[in-house]
Amino acid sequence: MKRIIFLLVIIVGIASFLRLYHLGGVPISPDWDEAALGYNAYSILLTERDEYGNFLPVILTSFDDYKPALYAYLAIPAIYIFDLNAFSVRLPSALMGIMAVMGTFFLTRQLLNLQNSTSKRINYISLLATGLFAISPWHIQFSRVAFEANIALTLCIWGLYFFLLGLRKPIFLSASAIFYGLSINAYHSPRLFVPLFLLGLSIVFYKNLFKQKKYLLISIIVGMFFLIPFLALFTQGQSQKITARYSATNIFNIQQEKSQKESIIKKSSVQYSLFASPIPAGLIEIAHGYLSHFSLRWMFITGDNDRHHAPSTGLLYIWELSFMLLGIISIFFSSKKARQVFFLWFLLAPIPAAFTSEVPHAVRTLIWLPSLQIAVALGIETAYVFLRRFSMVKQVVVITIFLAVVIFSFIQYYQLYFTHMNLESSRFWQFGYEHAVNFVEQNKSKYKNVYVSNQLEQPYIFFLFYLRYDPKLYLAAGGTKNSDKQAFDKFEFGKIDWSKKKQNKNALYILGPYESKISPIRKVVHTIRYFDASEAIVFAE
């Protein structure tokens, strides 16, 4: 057991390095969601209110996309210790990512215990799954950015671990309820995944659960406690804070808008009326969205949004594909309970993303990752068992080639992530705002007003973030009323009224590249560029 603990410590050490090294500088800058989470955490720390003036909110209105506030609360200790910056905002995600790696070891052990495997097999497969998770491009990417989905993933891993442990030691069922309850307060996807998953687990283990009715009842009560914030919002007539994100992204609303437009043109077609109505068409889109997540090209080669993967990489290493398929096949021959738990997770995890318009989607399906990495680990074990039929020389040759491929793939990914990503993807990380704020701070005494165009990407939150603008002053001036038009200090954010330019003497204008070319500016005084030399932010008079 000492050897297992030693190897686990090494793996967790590697995972920690990959998630903490140069955390504030790679990716190159916080995106707008990170800046919003950071500044709202800063505001709650100093005033107990968010940027809108809401007292200790459970949901952040931020950009009207209503983010769960749990991440902001987790960031408060780091901001208190390290001040408001990219490192402190990302630190909770990195630490939770390390906890997810550790949780994968203990979760895999519990799953394999359902198979009555030998302790040696359980330990080594668990270590293998943990090692794969530690170097996973998908997980590293999201552990180094302030993604609420990463918090939810960690909570779900530990939630399942304590659930399976609770089957033998029922006192731990309440711990499972706590982790799952927190997960639905951390991100949107678990609000659908967790109820479906727990329902499936309850069916699989109903005999075990009903033998422990007292502990089951306590865990249900504990879990219901985490629904109180949502119920409170409904009773206060603020249900839009819970449903807004779903309404903005769900395929039924989008399909309904599309159908309404197209029906004007094709009103007379019976066939069109049947298949283009929002519900049948929406169901087809959901099926397509769900199946799109099984795209091998998306998973292993291209990924999706450029903020979701390193340049020229997929979400997983290409060499993992064959082992994943082999592992999934091997699970069909495992014990019934282990097989059922695995496929519940494997098949349910993509469902929340299937209801949205952007598919496949790495953030909304991040919760899928543990089942995939466990499958790869089982596939490697299955391949090794087969390999042992051959001579020792052949075994050594194959294992050496395998390790060489793994090490080469990891080194290649490491270089792409830590070296190339900042150079190739600066525009996708909204690079330039820190430099913009520094330039304005050095020169604002020359100007009476500073007008910042809303053609830039939520610029007001970056100015609040990088200036560490006192939330007390900001809220005293009215705080955020809506994300389209803001004002504080000398700054005005919104659509610039160029008809009043003559009245706005001695003003500095901060514009997007296109707007700077079509606007009646007198001269450009400074330009910030992305690493590909294209314009990012233009300063003009």
pLDDT digits (tens, 9 = 90+) for 46-61: 999 999 999 999 999 9
Query: What's the rounded Cα separation, in Å, for the pair 124 and 110?
Result: 13
- What number is the average pLDDT over the span 302-315? 95
Q: Is 463 helix (H, G, I), strand (E, B) or coil?
A: helix
In a shared domain, residues 19 and 92: yes
Give yes or no for a contact between 173 and 212, defined as CB atoms under 8 angstroms apart.
yes
pLDDT band at 395 (very low <50, low <70, confident <90, very high): very high
pLDDT band at 504 (very low <50, low <70, confident <90, very high): confident
> Within a domain: residue 438?
yes
> Within a domain: residue 298?
yes
Query: What's the rounded Cα separation, in Å, for the pair 469 and 496?
Result: 23
> Within a domain: residue 258?
no
- What number is the average pLDDT over the span 355-383? 96
Decide which of 81 and 250 is more confident: 81
Query: What's the rounded Cα separation, in Å, for the pair 121 and 115?
Result: 11
In a shared domain, residues 475 and 375: no
pLDDT band at 264 (very low <50, low <70, confident <90, very high): very low
pLDDT band at 268 (very low <50, low <70, confident <90, very high): very low
Residues 6+ apart with CB under 8 A from 524: 516, 538, 539, 540
Q: What six digits make up the tokens of 320?
A: 């993992």
Residues 6+ apart with CB under 8 A from 84: 38, 39, 42, 465, 468
pLDDT tens digits for range 164-215: 999 999 999 999 999 999 999 999 999 999 999 999 999 999 999 999 999 9
In a shared domain, residues 472 and 349: no
Please tell me the predicted confidence (pLDDT) of residue 501.
77
Query: What's the rounded Cα separation, in Å, for the pair 239 and 243?
Result: 6
Q: What is the mean pLDDT of the chain?
A: 92
The closest of 33, 95, 92 to 66, measured between CA atoms, is 33
> Within a domain: residue 379?
yes
Structural domain count, the chain: 2
> Within a domain: residue 395?
yes
Alpha helices in 185-212 (DSSP H): 190-204, 206-210
**Peptide bond just before 27 cis, omega within 30 deg:** yes
260, pLDDT greater than 60: no
A 10 A CB-CB count for 138 gives 24
Element (DSSP H or E) covering residue 67: strand 67-68
Please tell me the predicted confidence (pLDDT) of residue 272.
47
Residue 431 has phi, psi (to 5 degrees) of -65, 145
> Within a domain: residue 252?
no
Domain boundary among 367, 390, 423: 423
387, pLDDT greater than 50: yes
In a shared domain, residues 113 and 219: yes
> Within a domain: residue 367?
yes
Alpha helices in 469-508 (DSSP H): 471-476
In a shared domain, residues 143 and 232: yes
Please tell me the predicted confidence (pLDDT) of residue 234.
74
In a shared domain, residues 177 and 288: yes
Give yes or no for a contact between 242 and 192, defined as CB atoms under 8 angstroms apart.
no
Q: Is 432 left (phi over 0), alpha (psi -120 to 50) or beta?
A: left
Least confident of 43-52, 96-105, 247-256, 417-426: 247-256
Query: What's the rounded Cα separation, in Å, for the pair 346 and 293?
Result: 11
Question: 55 - beta bridge partners?
Answer: 49
In a shared domain, residues 412 and 434: no
Q: How far is CA 151 from the centre of its chain?
A: 8
The closest of 166, 276, 159 to 214, measured between CA atoms, is 166
274, pLDDT greater than 50: no
Domain boundary among 423, 458, 483: 423
Domain boundary among 389, 423, 457: 423
> Within a domain: residue 268?
no
Residue 246 has phi, psi (to 5 degrees) of -65, -45
Element (DSSP H or E) covering residue 536: strand 535-540
Looking at residue 509, its amino acid is Y
**Peptide bond just before 350 cis, omega within 30 deg:** no
Domain residue limits at 505: 429-540
Alpha-carbon distance values, 86 to 2, 46, 305 (Å): 38, 18, 21
Q: What six digits make up the tokens of 71?
A: 């991440």
Decide which of 503 and 533 is more confident: 533
In a shared domain, residues 338 and 482: no
The closest of 154, 131, 140 to 376, measured between CA atoms, is 131
In a shared domain, residues 372 and 455: no
Q: Is 494 left (phi over 0), alpha (psi -120 to 50) or beta?
A: left
Percent of the chain's residues with pLDDT above 90: 81
413, pLDDT greater than 80: yes
In a shared domain, residues 340 and 385: yes
The closest of 30, 64, 147 to 466, measured between CA atoms, is 30
Percent of the chain's residues with pLDDT above 70: 92
Measured at the CA of 487, the angle between CA 516 and CA 233, to 5 degrees, comes to 120
Tokens 């304590």 — which residue? 162
Largest alpha-carbon pair distance within the chain? 87
Q: Is 453 helix (H, G, I), strand (E, B) or coil?
A: strand
Please tell me the predicted confidence (pLDDT) of residue 239.
66
Query: What's the rounded Cα separation, in Å, for the pair 222 and 493?
Result: 44
In a shared domain, residues 115 and 147: yes
DSSP string, 291-304: HHTT-HHIIIII-S
In a shared domain, residues 117 and 203: yes
Residue 525 has phi, psi (to 5 degrees) of -105, -20
What percentage of the chain's residues is helix, strand, coil (to nearest 5)? 65, 5, 25
- What number is the average pLDDT over the span 133-146? 99
346, pLDDT greater than 70: yes
The three state secondary structure string of 76-101 is HHHHHHHCCCHHHHHHHHHHHHHHHH
Q: What is the pTM of this model?
A: 0.93
